[in-house]
């Protein structure tokens, strides 16, 4: 088996593994929401939502993004066969996270009154935020250990920690809601965070960390790059949240709260349910690319392979989604949300461009180029805000969908130009035949929505979906012998990278 074939198999294996984890977690979230809503009602759900949102906000503001930047640092050291370096990085990460978690917990306790006032309009929940400082510590410790597993590419243990942690937390916290109702919300949040920590500690046993003494100077010197990149990644996430908030404010002022609800529903479907494929791929792709970040040839090969697989996996999903979007909206929400379908149909086309720009954009993170990363983040988020406002102003919800498509086209062109200018990277070879084939099939799928003849519309969609599936199968099979790969998966003979 060639090295290229091994890489393609690893990409598909990791994607299928963590795609399953993502689906399981979504199902857990749906079950949790449904049962909790039944047990504590809308008011209880509102309280739980505000407590969790505030906890996540404080967590995001105090964790310095270490749960993401550490993946890059550890993966690079591990791929360099520098075991001592990776062990020392793990020890430094552990020290840093204890500092950030304790500082975060202290701030949450000290400012529990203002947090309660901000979230609920009074100080009646200050006690809740004091207790939730424990959950913040558990969450940051959990995230750091998951980052270590990801950086070391212990994918089997990482998947198990996610699955078992979420599953056990669901089973053990539901009785709290059943017996104590709204009073059980805070204990349930704390218990969920604690269970996740215990499970990930079990699955990270045996991972060595340096026993050398790490002084304050060592912590600052050796942890500097990790902190710098982490802060920039956190800042980028905050910018994205602010842009999303500003878009909602504009829609609310122009079209009303109903339109905001429709926009949010569409955004969740595109980014959570369709976008889960990107989340699944990133779990393996980021540490894999980070490990070879200083080797231009290996970077080029890894990005090319990832972009090809991403396009081939997303294209049948895009075509299928175009046809089932109305039913998906009815299943996930209600018929009142059907006006969001045009946004979804236009927006889903952008996923083909996103699959490519997403693959290329990770080069900046893998290189640890924090300044370029934050500059591109500010530019593209500003572009997203501008296009969304213009799209909604002139086209309503459908205009928003068109603006998403335009954004991802520009994002693809921009990211490919930036990486070529900065790192002399360019997509070539087998990428463009696959990309244009996927783009053509997605475009044909979209074209069927323009006819009012139901037989022609759905007959055409079924045919194009079959062709897209055949095209993806053929292209993947050419690169990794897909039949043999699936046979090994089903028979359990394929060994994981634990």
Whether 165 is covered by a domain: the verdict is yes
Give, as one character, the DSSP assignment of residue 208. Answer: -
Residues 281 and 201 in one domain: no
Residues 210 and 235 in one domain: no
205-219, 331-345, 356-370, 401-415: range with lowest mean pLDDT: 205-219
Using the predicted structure, report yes or no on whether residue 482 has a pLDDT greater than 80.
Answer: no
Whether 223 is covered by a domain: the verdict is no
Using the predicted structure, report yes or no on whether residue 442 has a pLDDT greater than 50.
Answer: yes
Using the predicted structure, report yes or no on whether residue 211 has a pLDDT greater than 80.
Answer: no
d(CA 128, CA 116): 8
Residues 131 and 263 in one domain: no
| Residue finishing a domain among 174, 191, 214 | 214
111 close to 169: Cβ distance less than 8 angstroms: no
Residues 104 and 239 in one domain: no
DSSP per-residue codes, 172-224: HHHHHHHHHGGGGHHHHHHHHHHHHHHHHHHHTTT-----S---HHHHHHHHH
Q: Which pLDDT belongs to residue 25?
A: 84
The count of domains in the chain is 2
Q: Which pLDDT belongs to residue 283?
A: 84
Residues 158 and 239 in one domain: no
d(CA 290, CA 74): 9
26 close to 18: Cβ distance less than 8 angstroms: no
Q: Which pLDDT belongs to residue 40?
A: 85
The pair of structure tokens assigned to 373 is 């990363």
Using the predicted structure, report yes or no on whether residue 494 has a pLDDT greater than 50.
Answer: no
In this prediction, residues 195-211 reach a mean pLDDT of 85
Whether 4 is covered by a domain: the verdict is no
* pTM recorded for the entire structure: 0.85
Q: Which pLDDT belongs to residue 209?
A: 67
Residues 200 and 234 in one domain: no
pLDDT > 70: percent of the chain:
95
| Residue finishing a domain among 190, 214, 238 | 214
d(CA 131, CA 489): 45
Using the predicted structure, report yes or no on whether residue 498 has a pLDDT greater than 50.
Answer: no
In this prediction, residues 467-476 reach a mean pLDDT of 93
Residues 20 and 148 in one domain: yes
100 close to 135: Cβ distance less than 8 angstroms: no
Whether 3 is covered by a domain: the verdict is no
Q: Confidence class of residue 1 from pLDDT cuts 50, 70 and 90?
A: low
Whether 452 is covered by a domain: the verdict is yes
d(CA 229, CA 238): 14
Residues 263 and 385 in one domain: yes
More confident residue, 36 or 183: 183
Using the predicted structure, report yes or no on whether residue 146 has a pLDDT greater than 90.
Answer: yes
Using the predicted structure, report yes or no on whether residue 379 has a pLDDT greater than 60.
Answer: yes
> What are the pLDDT digits (tens) for 31-90?
887 888 888 887 888 888 889 888 988 998 899 999 989 999 888 888 876 678 888 889
d(CA 318, CA 313): 9
Residues 62 and 103 in one domain: yes
| Residue finishing a domain among 162, 188, 214 | 214
In this prediction, residues 247-271 reach a mean pLDDT of 85
Whether 1 is covered by a domain: the verdict is no
Whether 221 is covered by a domain: the verdict is no
> CA nearest 146: which of 66, 79, 55?
66
Residues 77 and 159 in one domain: yes
Q: Which pLDDT belongs to residue 496?
A: 45
> What are the pLDDT digits (tens) for 103-118?
999 999 999 999 999 8
Residues 274 and 146 in one domain: no
Query: E strands of 362-422, at which residues?
Result: none
96 close to 66: Cβ distance less than 8 angstroms: yes
Q: Which pLDDT belongs to residue 210?
A: 61
| Domain boundaries, position 85 | 9-214
Using the predicted structure, report yes or no on whether residue 409 has a pLDDT greater than 70.
Answer: yes
Q: Which pLDDT belongs to residue 46?
A: 82
81-85, 184-188, 327-331: range with lowest mean pLDDT: 81-85
Whether 286 is covered by a domain: the verdict is yes
The average confidence (pLDDT) of the chain is: 88
Q: Which residue has the tokens 């006032």?
A: 117
The pair of structure tokens assigned to 221 is 């010197």
Q: Confidence class of residue 443 from pLDDT cuts 50, 70 and 90?
A: very high
338 close to 261: Cβ distance less than 8 angstroms: no
Using the predicted structure, report yes or no on whether residue 491 has a pLDDT greater than 70.
Answer: no
Report the SS3 class of residue 428: coil
> CA nearest 221: which of 329, 92, 119, 374?
92
Residues 192 and 248 in one domain: no
């Amino acid at each position: 088996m060639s090295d290229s074939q091994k890489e393609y198999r690893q990409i598909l294996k990791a994607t299928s593994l963590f795609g399953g984890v993502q689906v399981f977690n979504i199902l857990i979230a749906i079950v949790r929401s449904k049962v909790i809503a039944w047990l504590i009602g809308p008011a209880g759900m509102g309280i739980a939502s505000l407590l969790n949102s505030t906890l996540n906000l404080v967590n995001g503001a105090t964790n310095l993004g270490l749960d993401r930047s550490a993946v890059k640092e550890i993966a690079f050291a591990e791929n360099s066969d520098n075991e001592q370096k990776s062990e020392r990085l793990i020890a430094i990460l552990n020290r840093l996270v204890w500092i950030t978690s304790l500082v975060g917990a202290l701030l949450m306790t000290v400012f529990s009154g203002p947090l309660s006032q901000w979230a609920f309009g009074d100080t009646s929940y200050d006690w809740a935020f004091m207790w939730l400082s424990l959950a913040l510590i558990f969450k940051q410790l959990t995230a750091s250990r998951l980052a270590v597993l990801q950086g070391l590419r212990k994918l089997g243990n990482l998947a198990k920690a996610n699955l078992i942690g979420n599953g056990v937390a669901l089973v053990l916290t539901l009785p709290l809601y059943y017996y104590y109702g709204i009073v059980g919300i805070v204990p349930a949040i704390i218990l969920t965070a604690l269970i996740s920590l215990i499970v990930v500690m079990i699955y990270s046993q045996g991972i060595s960390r340096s026993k050398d003494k790490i002084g304050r100077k060592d912590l600052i010197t050796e942890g500097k790059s990790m902190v710098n990149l982490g802060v920039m990644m956190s800042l980028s996430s905050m910018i994205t949240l602010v842009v999303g908030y500003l878009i909602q404010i504009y829609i609310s002022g122009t079209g009303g709260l109903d339109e905001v609800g429709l926009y949010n529903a569409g955004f969740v479907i595109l980014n959570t349910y369709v976008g889960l494929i990107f989340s699944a791929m990133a779990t393996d792709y980021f540490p894999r690319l980070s490990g070879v970040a200083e080797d231009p040839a290996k970077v080029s090969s890894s990005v090319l392979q990832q972009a090809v697989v991403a396009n081939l996996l997303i294209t049948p999903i895009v075509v299928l989604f175009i046809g089932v979007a109305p039913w998906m909206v009815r299943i996930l929400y209600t018929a009142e949300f059907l006006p969001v379908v045009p946004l979804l149909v236009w927006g889903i086309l952008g996923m083909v461009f996103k699959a490519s720009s997403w693959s290329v954009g990770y080069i900046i993170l893998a290189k640890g180029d924090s300044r370029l990363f934050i500059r591109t983040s500010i530019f593209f988020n500003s572009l997203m805000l501008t296009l969304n406002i213009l799209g909604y102003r002139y086209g309503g919800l459908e205009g928003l969908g068109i603006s998403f498509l335009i954004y991802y086209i520009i994002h693809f062109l921009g990211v490919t130009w930036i990486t070529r200018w900065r790192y002399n990277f360019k997509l070539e070879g087998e990428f463009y035949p696959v990309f244009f084939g996927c783009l053509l099939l997605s475009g044909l799928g979209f074209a069927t929505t323009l006819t009012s003849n139901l037989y022609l519309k759905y007959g055409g969609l079924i045919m194009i979906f079959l062709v897209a599936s055949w095209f993806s199968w053929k292209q993947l099979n050419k690169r990794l012998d897909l039949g043999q790969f699936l046979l090994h998966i089903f028979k359990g003979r394929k060994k994981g990278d634990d």
